[in-house]
Copies of this chain bind each other. A is one copy, B any other.
């Protein structure tokens, strides 16, 4: 069982992928900070909760969706609740759990973040690659997902 060594193409692509994605995220986070807005993770959670509608989501459902560790979700939700952006409701059929629902303030915050976030995406991706190239990029990246998924 020999460990495989990566091809030069794989190494080059890896380096680009890691560097570029970090830079883009960092630039976006900076833009949010510059506008007095919270980090991207807040947006992700608010976005998922907004999608989920009135029914809300259980924290454990959020975990898979936002790709955060359990304790991070737990604490992030605590901050969001403290800021009145979400509310926690007991759930009738499971005494351990709770349902988290976005509030009106949460929706408003989500809009404000998106104004900056969306503009950042437009600037960093939309302005640099054509729609066709963006589709190609997304397709290639899709093949790297784990676990491997059929698009």
Stretch in contact with the other chain, from A49-57, A93-101, A136-144: A136-144
Task: Give this chain's copy count.
Answer: 2
| Cβ–Cβ < 8 Å partners of A23 in chain B | 67, 145-146
Classify chain A: how many residues form its interface, as a range: 35 or more
A43 to chain B, nearest CB (A): 11
Residues of B within 8 A of A138 (CB): 9, 12-13, 16
Give chain A's interface secondary structure class: helix
A13 and B125 contacting across the interface, CB-CB below 8 Å: yes
Which residues 70-129 of A sit at the B interface, judged by CB distance below 8 A? 115, 118-119, 121-129
**A24 contacts B17, C-beta separation under 8 Å:** yes
Report yes or no: B6 in contact with A118, Cβ–Cβ below 8 A: yes
A residues 1-42 near B (Cβ < 8 Å) are 3-7, 9-14, 16-25, 27
Rounded to whole Å, the gap between the CB of A6 and the closest CB of chain B is 4
List residues of chain B with CB within 8 A of the CB of A137. Answer: 13, 16-17, 137, 140-141
- Using a CB–CB distance below 8 Å, which chain A residues touch chain B? 3-7, 9-14, 16-25, 27, 67, 115, 118-119, 121-129, 131, 133-138, 140-146, 148
